[in-house]
Amino acid sequence: MHTMWKGSISFGLVNIPIKMFTATEEKDIRFRYLHKECNTPLKYKKICPTCDKEVREDEIVRGFEYETGHFIIINEEDIEALKSEVDAKSIDILDFVNLAEIDPIYFDKSYYLSPQDTGNKAYNLLRQAMNDTGKIAIAKMTIRNKQTLAALRIFQNVLVLETIFYPDEVRSVNLIPGVSENLEVNEKELSIATKLIENLSAQFEPEKYKDDYREALQELISKKIQGKEIEIAPEMPHKNVIDLMEALQASLKETKKKPVNKKAKATTKEKQPSAV
Q: What is the pLDDT of residues 231-257, one digit of tens each?
A: 666 666 665 556 777 877 888 888 875
Whether 180 maps to a domain, the answer reads no
Chain segment 141-158, per-residue pLDDT in tens: 988 778 899 999 999 999
pLDDT at 223: 84
Query: What mean pLDDT is reported for the chain?
Result: 82
The proportion of the chain whose per-residue pLDDT surpasses 90, expressed as a percent, equals 33
Domain that holds residue 17: 5-27+82-169
If we measure between CA atoms, which residue out of 142, 164, 184, 19 comes closest to residue 95?
Answer: 164
Angstrom distances, CA of residue 182 to CA of 9, 26, 126, 171, 179 = 47, 40, 46, 22, 10
pLDDT at 133: 95
Number of domains present in the structure of the chain: 1
Whether 240 maps to a domain, the answer reads no
Whether 265 maps to a domain, the answer reads no
pTM listed for this prediction: 0.70
Residue 110 pLDDT exceeds 90: yes
Whether 93 maps to a domain, the answer reads yes
Please provide the distance, in angstroms rounded to a whole number, between the alpha carbons at the two ends of the chain.
Answer: 68
Whether 15 maps to a domain, the answer reads yes
pLDDT at 203: 86
Calculate mean pLDDT across residues 109-135.
93
More confident residue, 107 or 80: 107
The domain spanning residue 20 has which CATH number? 2.40.290.10
More confident residue, 111 or 26: 111
Chain segment 175-213, per-residue pLDDT in tens: 888 877 777 888 888 888 888 888 888 888 888 888 888
Angstrom distances, CA of residue 28 to CA of 44, 107, 197, 214 = 22, 20, 31, 7
Length of the chain in residues, anyone?
Answer: 276
Chain segment 128-145, per-residue pLDDT in tens: 999 999 999 999 998 877
In the three-class reduction of DSSP (H, G, I as helix; E, B as strand; rest coil), residue 275 is classed as coil
Distance separating alpha carbons of residues 252 and 195, to the nearest angstrom? 7
Distance separating alpha carbons of residues 67 and 41, to the nearest angstrom? 37
Calculate mean pLDDT across residues 33-55.
90
Whether 229 maps to a domain, the answer reads no
CB atoms within 10 A of CB 121: 9
More confident residue, 98 or 43: 98
| Rg, Å, the chain Cα set | 29
Whether 88 maps to a domain, the answer reads yes
Calculate mean pLDDT across residues 110-124.
92
Whether 110 maps to a domain, the answer reads yes
CB atoms within 10 A of CB 3: 11
